[in-house]
Chain A
Amino acid sequence: MKEFDPLIFLVVFQEMLGPLLWLLILLAVGGTLAFLRLLIKEKGIVARRLVRAELAGLGGGVLALILMAKVSSSGFTDAGGPADWFLIALVFGMGLIGSAIVVYSFLGWRTPVKR
């Protein structure tokens, strides 16, 4: 498509997900903010909690891939070229990082560690 406009992506995602899009964006922004505030409050990363969050993140990544496969009536076993591996990595990565951050903040705000 000539004159491809990145803004179209947002319009398309809005059509695809409806109100869910805003919920996801809210979750992402909210999760990140909560994470940053936690970092400032605790003046650093709590290693033990990070490990647990990362483990949960692995699950989140897999979940994102399963969701994607379901919605697209196909599976990542259909990958046929570099762009596909990139997409798989992207979906997995987003699921991983997203859920890790959310889980880390959630744990942190629920049971703050005393230093």
Chain B
Amino acid sequence: MTEQREREFAAILKSASAGRRNFLRLGAAGTGALLLPATAARAADKLVSKARIVIAGAGAAGLAAASRLAEQLDGASITLVDGRKEHFYQPGYTLIGAGLKPASYVVSTTAEYVPKGVDWIEERVAEFDPEGNKVVTESGKAIPYDFLLVATGLKLDYAAIPGMEVGEIGKNGLGSVYHSAAAAEATWRSMSDFADKGGIGLFLRPGTEMKCAGAPLKYTFITDDYLRRRGNRGKAELVYNANNKVLFSVPIVSEKVRMLFDDRKVKVNYERILESIDLGKRIAVFKSPIGPVEHPYDFINVIPPMRAPDAVRNSPLPWQEGGWAKDGWIEVDKHSLRHKRFDNVFAVGDVAGVPKGKTAASVKWQVPVAVDHLLARIAGKESTSAYNGYTSCPLITRLGQAMLVEFDYKDNLVPSFPGIIAPLEELWITWVMKTMALKPTYLSMLRGRA
């Protein structure tokens, strides 16, 4: 920050001091205030500030953060920057791919969640300039900020797989649930066709970090169940290709999945990463310790490598060394989500370079922490709230049943309903949660109410 900006900043803080007492109350009252509509949040409890806050990305994390900030700040300028008009409830993609929901189930608009008092610039960020405290949009507009929250999600890097063409999803046995709602629907058609005929079904996960690491497993289980229901399981061979030596990063979950795959006769290859694909011949080539391995298929669910969006990757924000530098994940402290080098920058959601996370459920726990730290800074305090790595995944193991897998940075299981919903048990109640309660919970999160 320049000296002049620092002085302005001091003035902002001064004007905020009136709100300081209230700031402390906010945390305690926060939960009780949940039921009040955002507009009813008592003006007196708001933190008065003229801070300029820019939120890059209006997906799950960006919208949730905007809602919380708008509710707790008075006088601040909050700007969302994202060119996307539609909003996608991505956890629903799996249900579309399973033939249980139409593509429309996950589509809504960004506009309906942009809170009152928050500006939305309908453009993508082209350049992040944390040294100059500004972002530049695609049309060249510079937006200066006092605080930046990066919530751009991640980029599905289909281009990194030679031979892959997203336009072919749904044809010739090619599926990819991740790509979009429409692709998830097209994948369902391919998979259903496969479940009618049998053959070789290939499943995999990328060698990079990924969002919802349970999703590739879920789709394997769902395909297995459809084959059984249609009496064709005997005609099919299902092969799951793990990128490393485990099936899931949390050891106890990995073991459980190994047992379930064993039970369902799903063959597992370890240390196989999709390298290229021949869509016409239906052959996938995997990188492995013994060199490239060719694998023919009748159905494949391609899940591409995932990296930070280019604008982030090409900025000073990512980790400079270590495993996360290459793919551009943002260098934040894993407990506060504050940038390690630019202390007025935070990253939340998929783009954050933290060990776990990358689910909507993690967003739910990350956003309040980052927001708390940001508000504390405005109020001239230090926040003690910390994100513990909470990540959750209702791991569907057959149609009608799922396991509620919840864990933290330490690979501990952290069940929400201990004694009622056992974490590694295949239950209907967990399936009911996934199909009925998750979307409403997610939407409440966008509105800052859950």
Contacts and interface: CB of A to CB of B under 8 A. Distances in A.
Contact of B440 (A13, A80, A81, A83): A13
A79 B428 contact: yes
B432 interface: yes
Interface string A57-85: 00000000000100111111111110110
B431 A72 contact: yes
A10 B34 CA distance: 10
B390 A7 contact: no
A74 B444 contact: no
Nearest to A75: B400
Report which residue of A8, A71, A74 has the largest number of chain B beta carbons within 10 angstroms of its beta carbon: A74
Interface string A81-94: 10110110000000
B416 A15 contact: no
B420 A8 contact: no
B400 A74 contact: yes
Contacts, number: 95
A77 B399 CA distance: 11
A47 interface: no
B450 interface: yes
Interface in B424-445: 425-429, 431-432, 435-437, 439-441, 443-444
A77 B400 CA distance: 9
B349 to A, nearest CB: 17
Contacts of A2: 365, 388, 390, 414
Given A5-B34, A80-B425, A11 B449 contact: yes
A42 to B, nearest CB: 38
B101 to A, nearest CB: 8
Contacts of A72: 431-432, 435-436
Interface residues of A, number: 30
Nearest to A78: B400
A84 B425 CA distance: 11
Nearest to B406: A1
Contact of B429 (A7, A8, A83): A83
B226 to A, nearest CB: 13
A81 B427 CA distance: 6
A80 B34 contact: no
Contacts of A15: 440-441, 443-444
Contacts of A113: none
Contacts of B441: 8, 12, 15
Contact of B431 (A8, A11, A14, A78): A78
A11 to B, nearest CB: 5
A1 B365 contact: yes
A16 interface: yes
Contacts of B283: none
A13 B450 CA distance: 12
A80 B427 contact: yes
Given A76-B428, A78-B401, A12 B435 contact: no
Interface in B178-192: none
Contacts of B4: none
B35 A7 contact: yes
Contacts of A78: 399-401, 428, 431
B421 A80 contact: no
A71 B428 contact: no
B428 A73 contact: no
A81 B365 CA distance: 29
B35 A81 contact: no
A102 to B, nearest CB: 24
A12 B34 contact: no
A84 B427 contact: yes
Interface in A17-65: none
Contacts of A14: 440
Given A5-B31, A80-B401, A11 B435 contact: no
A12 B450 contact: yes
B118 interface: no
B34 A74 contact: no
B38 interface: no
Nearest to B400: A78
Contacts of B1: none
19 contacts: A2-B365, A7-B32, A8-B34, A8-B444, A14-B440, A16-B437, A16-B439, A71-B436, A73-B100, A74-B435, A75-B400, A77-B400, A78-B399, A78-B400, A78-B428, A80-B401, A81-B422, A84-B429, A87-B428
Q: Sort A-B residue pairs by CB-CB distance and give the 10 closest, nearest first.
A: A78-B400, A15-B440, A74-B400, A16-B440, A84-B428, A1-B416, A78-B428, A73-B100, A72-B435, A72-B432
Given A5-B31, A11-B34, A81-B422, 20 more contacts: A1-B364, A1-B406, A3-B31, A8-B441, A10-B35, A11-B444, A12-B441, A12-B450, A15-B443, A15-B444, A16-B437, A71-B436, A74-B401, A74-B435, A76-B428, A78-B401, A80-B401, A80-B425, A83-B421, A87-B429
